[in-house]
Amino acid sequence: MTLIEMLVTITIMGLVVAAIAGLLVEAAKTQVDVANRFQAQQDAVLALNKLRREMHCATAMTGPGAGASSYATITLATQCVTGGGTTVTWCTQPAYAGSTNQFNLVRVTGTYSGSCDPTSIGMTFAEHLTTANIFSSYTCPTASSLGYVSVNLPVDTTPNDSKQAYDLTDDIVLRNTQRVVGC
């Protein structure tokens, strides 16, 4: 075997190894991205389930009016499993300081005070929301129907790539509200 043949063989082997290493790196990045998106979607589903359970049990609600809102304060009935007789607020906050396209869904005990800080009295339930205004509308109870709130949880771990967005929406009926005219 000559020196030239050995150099050609090493060069070809180096190119093949570099191509395989590139494929493995991309596969690892893709696996991490898929795992992150799955976790964000799963967190949003679990958050919506808890939000739905608490709103079904709520006796009163304030927050979203005719337009979209970033918070909703509900009063839980005394028989509610998740803190009966208390007032809780579901709200969004920026994921980090200055964020305009990444928000977290937070549940705090008490009424909304203009701040939604989970560190002292709350808990973050979902991350990677692309809008702060998740409560799109609220319909007051009437004499013939219960009130309900429309919720939209748009989840996207990569907000610059809209093809990977996941939208979770629901209309939640406030089952324990009184059928009265007006809010």
Q: Bigger pLDDT: 11 or 88?
A: 11
Residue 56's nearest CA partner among 40, 80, 26, 34 is 80
Buried b (16+ CB within 10 A) or exposed e, 132-141: bebbbbbbbb
pTM greater than 0.85: no
Question: For position 175, what pLDDT does the model report?
Answer: 82
- Band of residue 18 on the pLDDT scale cut at 50, 70, 90: very high
Q: Per-residue pLDDT for 35 more than 70?
A: yes
- Band of residue 177 on the pLDDT scale cut at 50, 70, 90: confident
Question: What secondary structure, in 3-state letters, does 113-145 show?
Answer: CCCCCHHHHEEEEEEEECCCCCEEEEECCCCCC
- Band of residue 158 on the pLDDT scale cut at 50, 70, 90: confident
Most confident of 24-28, 77-81, 105-109, 164-168: 24-28
Question: For position 112, what pLDDT does the model report?
Answer: 73
Residue 89's nearest CA partner among 176, 69, 81, 80 is 69
In the predicted model, what is the mean pLDDT of the chain?
A: 84
Q: pLDDT tens digits, residue range 119-128?
A: 666 788 888 9
Average pLDDT value for residue range 84-107: 84
Tokens for 106, please give them.
Answer: 């937070």
Average pLDDT value for residue range 32-46: 91
